[in-house]
Amino acid sequence: MNIVLEAKNLEKKFSDVLAVNKINFKVKEGEVFGFLGPNGAGKTTTMKMIQCVSPKTGGDLRVFGLDVNQYPKEIKQVMGVVPQMDNLDPDFTVIGNLIQFSRYFDIPLEEAKKRANELIDYVQLNDKKDSSVDKLSGGMKRRLVLARAMINNPKLLILDEPTTGLDPQARHLIWEKLKDLSSKGITVIITTHYMEEAARLCDRLVIMDNGEILVEGKPKDLVKKYVGDHIVEAENTTEIKTCLEKNDIKYEIANESVEIYNENVSDITNLILKECVDSGVTARPATLEDVFLKLTGRKLRE
């Protein structure tokens, strides 16, 4: 497998803040690679460095083997970007946006028209082809931004929170498209706050916090490694906590509830029901969200 993206000790320093602190990662061709982390973790800054719009201040970052500071044009020519905020051009129609964008890549007009029509079909915006972008819903705009990012037939697609604020239908359509693109060999890099999305889409992911990568791996492996298969939850009361301590069961406090990570779900559940309380105990499969909260804490981020 070819390495599409490689960061070594990558660093971004703003005047007095270290936004990205010497991170290392590799992304292979055709992978869907996720960046997870609370607000201010350094995800978007990392995305912007990969997009060659925010120069790195230290370390090494190569896209298709090319240094981002030296070869931005070459890299951007084969990259598609879906930014966090939609930046469609309201002075143009749906198809007009695609045609206009194709000019930025020096795509000949005939070819551009052909691709624009194919892409409009791909993201299911046929009915809106000649509408002004102001008339599109949030989900439609997002699909159009995705289509726009594909106009240059990119080999690498970067999406910064592509499904934030979308309804489930629109979200599923985006997921389906990303899976499809990835199966065609396009490398996809994505940031998201939705753990379910990351678990479904990403082949591998990193969890970042305070400018550093905390962990890296396949979603399932991470869940297994950091939380286990299942979680037993009970109410967060002094009574239960003393009882758990008496029985030598390790627990973690998650606001309103206590969580027990253990291999033997049924044993633990039965034990708690027998020794501590009569009801209010649930066992559920562990998720990426549990890993995320365990690693980055429950404190609110500004």
Partner 1 sequence: MFMLTYRFLKPWRRNIVTFVKTWKLNFVPPFLEPILYLLALGFGLGGFIESVDGIPYAKFIAPALVSISVMNASFFECTYTSFVRMYYLKTFDAMISTPISIEEVITGELFWGATRSTIYATIMLPVLLAFGVVELPSSLLIIPFAFLGGLMFSCIAMCFTALSPTIDTLSYPSFLFITPMFLFSGTFFPMSVLPLAIQYVALAILPLAHLVIVNRALTLGIFNISLLMSLLWIILCTTIFFFVSIKLMKRRLIV
64 binds partner 1 (CB under 8 A): no
Closest approach, Cβ 198 to partner 1, in A, equals 23
Selected from 1, 2, 16, 90, the binder of partner 1 by CB under 8 A is 90
Closer of 51 and 182 to partner 1 (Cβ)? 51
Cα separation, 145 vs 232, in Å, equals 42
62: left (phi over 0), alpha (psi -120 to 50) or beta: beta
Task: Answer yes or no whether residue 296 interacts with partner 1 by CB under 8 A.
Answer: no
For residues 178 and 150, the answer to whether their CB atoms sit within 8 Å is no
Residues 203-242 that bind partner 1 (CB under 8 A): none
Interface residue with partner 1 among 8, 103, 246, 284 (CB under 8 A) is: 103
Q: Which of 3, 14, 126, 221 contacts partner 1 by CB under 8 A?
A: 14
The single residue listed with the structure tokens 């044993």 is 267
Q: Report phi then psi at 106, rounded to 5.
A: 60, 35
Q: Backbone phi, then psi, for 180, in 5-degree steps?
A: -65, -45
Q: Contacting partner 1 (CB under 8 A), which of 53, 127, 239, 267? A: 53
Residue whose pair of structure tokens reads 């629109």 in the numeric block: 170
Nearer to partner 1, 43 or 204 (CB): 43
* Contacts of partner 1 in 152-191 (CB under 8 A): 152
Specify the stretch interacting with partner 1 by CB under 8 A; choose among 69-77, 197-205, 234-242, 280-288.
Answer: 69-77
User: Does residue 91 interact with partner 1 by CB under 8 A?
Assistant: yes
Residue 11's CB: how many other CB atoms inside 10 A? 19
Among residues 23, 68, 38, 25, the alpha carbon closest in space to that of 50 is found at 68
Complex with partner 1: residue 85 or 300, whichever CB lies closer? 85
Place of tokens 């599409």: 4
* Residue count, binding to partner 1 (CB under 8 A): 27
Q: What is the DSSP letter of 71?
A: -
Contacts of 115 (CB under 8 A, 6+ apart): 98, 102, 107, 151, 153
User: Of these, 10, 23, 49, 81, which contacts partner 1 (CB under 8 A)?
Assistant: 81
Distance CA 134, CA 221 (A): 43
Residue type at 280 in one-letter notation: G
CA distance 216 to 26: 10
Q: How far is the CB of 104 from partner 1 (least distance, A)?
A: 4
Residue 44 is a binding residue for partner 1 (CB under 8 A): no
Q: Could you say whether residue 131 binds partner 1 (CB under 8 A)?
A: no
Strand, helix or coil for residue 34: strand
Using an 8 Å Cβ cutoff, are 155 and 184 in contact? no
Q: Figure out which of the listed residues 16, 85, 130, 278 binds partner 1, where binding follows CB under 8 A.
A: 85
Stretch that binds partner 1, among 46-54, 184-192, 229-237, 248-256 (CB under 8 A): 46-54
Please state the length of the chain.
302
**Segment contacting partner 1 by CB under 8 A, of 48-56, 118-126, 171-179, 273-281:** 48-56
Q: Using CB under 8 A as the criterion, which residues of the chain lie in contact with partner 1 when the complex forms?
A: 14, 51, 53-55, 69, 72-73, 76-77, 79, 81, 83, 85, 87-92, 100-101, 103-106, 152
